[in-house]
Amino acid sequence: MKKILQKILVVGTLAFFAVILIFSRKNESVPTFKERHGPIALSAEWLNTKAAIQGLLDLLRQKPDDSKAMMQLAQAYIQEARITGDHAYYDKASLDLLDQVLKKEPGNFEALCCKSTVLLSQHHFSDGLTVAQQAVKLNPYNAFIYGLLCDANVELGNYDEAIKMADKMVSLRPDIRSYSRVSYLREIFGDLEGAKQAMKLAVSAGFPGLEQTEWTRMILAHLYECSGELDSAEMQCKIALQERPDYPFAIAGIGRIQKERGNYNDAIKYYEKAKDMITEYSFSDELTDLYLLNNEKERSQKIAQTVIDMLSPNSNAEGTTGHGHYADRELAYAYLKTGDLDNALLHAQIEYERRPKNIDVCEMMGWVKYKRGEYAEANMYISQALHTGSKNPQLLCRAGMIKLKCGEKEYGLSMIKNALNMDPFLDPFLKKEASQFLSGTVYANK
C-alpha cells in the first residue's frame, strides 16, 4: 500500500555516519530512524531500506526544504511502523514530516493521502476521513484515495458509503489493495465464501515476500479459520514464512492454529517468539488466554496487566502532533480478562461514542454489558452488531448467549449451533461458556 522508495546510493563509511549524527543534532525537525533488532534486522530488505533512509536524511541535510525527500522519508517511516510495530515512534515521525510538507504545500495530494493513512492507523477515523475527503477533491481519479475513504467509512460504520468507495477503487485499479477491501466488505455482510475469493485475488495480485502481500495472506488465513479450515489456514501461514522468513504475524498465525488444535505448549512457543520480534499487543493478549488454558494462572494475570500497560494512554503520549493511538476497544477487552468490569465499560463507552455505527464496536458494547449482567442493554447493542448479516462465528456465538439470556431461546440456540458448526475450533473459553446453554444448564435471566 506504500509507494516504493526511490533507490539512493549511500557510501556506508564511518564519516557518513558521523555526518548523520551531526545532522540529527542540528536539525531536530527531521526525525531519524531507529535500528531494528532481532531477526527482522537481518534481512536484505532492511539493509536496502536503511540505506535509502540514510540517503534521504543526507539529502535533507543539504536541502532542508526538499518536500519530495520529506515525503519519501514519511512513506518509509509509515512502512517501518508496519514492519516493526513501533507505531508510537514512527507514526509521530511521519506526521511531523507530513505536517511540514503541508504547511508549505496545503494542496499536496500525496501528503494528504499519507497523513490520512497515519491517522487511520492511529484509529483517528473521523480525522482520517476528513483529510481523505480533502485529498479526493484534488484528484478524484486516484484509486488509493478511495481505499482510504473506504477504510474510514468502514471503521465509522458507514457501510453503504464504504461499498461505493470500494467499487470506485476496484474499477480504477483492481489490485491487492482494492481486492482486499472488497473481501472485507463481503465478510462484513456475511458472504464468507465471496470474501475468500476476493482475498485470494488480492494475494495473487501482490508481489510475494513483500510485507503487504504476506499480511494479506494472513487475512486469508483468518477467513479459513472462521470456517474451521485449519489445514488451509496453516498452509497460508507456512507459505508466508517461506516467502518472508521470520514474519512475526505468520509465526503467531501458526501459534493460533496450534491453540485451536489444543496444543497449548506449542502455541505458547510460537507466540513468545513472535512477541519478542516486534511490538504488537495482540501477541501478548493471546498469551494471556494461552497461559490460562495451560493452567498457568499467575503468568496469565501478569501478561494481562502487561497488555493493559501497553495499551494505556498513559504509556503512549500523544506528543506535539496531538495524535496518539486510540485503543479503547482493545482496552475494554483487556480489562474484561482481568475481571475489571468498570474499566471495561469505561473504555467501551469511550469507543462507542466515537463510532456508534461500527458493528465490531457494537459487539464489544454488547459483550461488556453481558459480562456485567445487564442483558437488556447487551441485547440492544448486539442486535446493532448483527444488522449487516455478518457470519463471524464469535459474533454469532456471543449474540446467541445474549439472546438466550433475554428469553429468545429458539433464536439464541440456533445462533450458537450455527457458530459452532461453522467454526468447531472456536475460542475455548467462549465455547465452554456456550456449551452451558446448549446443555440447558443456563437459560434466560430470572
Query: Percent helix, strand, coil in the chain (nearest 5)?
Result: 75, 0, 25
Q: What pLDDT, on a 0 to 100 scale, did the predictor assign at position 200?
A: 98
- Pairwise CA distance, residues 57 & 70, whole Å: 9
Q: What pLDDT, on a 0 to 100 scale, did the predictor assign at position 45?
A: 86
Residue type, 352: Y
pTM of the model: 0.89
Nearest C-alpha neighbor of 396 from the set 386, 409, 404: 386
- Pairwise CA distance, residues 374 & 402, whole Å: 10
Q: What pLDDT, on a 0 to 100 scale, did the predictor assign at position 440?
A: 72
Q: What pLDDT, on a 0 to 100 scale, did the predictor assign at position 319?
A: 40
- Pairwise CA distance, residues 238 & 217, whole Å: 10
Q: What pLDDT, on a 0 to 100 scale, did the predictor assign at position 378?
A: 98
Considering only CA atoms, give the Rg of the chain.
23
**Contact between 270 and 255 (Cβ < 8 Å):** yes
Q: What pLDDT, on a 0 to 100 scale, did the predictor assign at position 211?
A: 95
Torsion of CA 259, 278, 44, 270, to 10 degrees: -20
Question: Which residues of the chain are modeled with pLDDT < 50?
Answer: 1-27, 314-322, 446
Q: Which cell numbers in the block locate residue 61?
A: 541535510
**Contact between 246 and 40 (Cβ < 8 Å):** yes
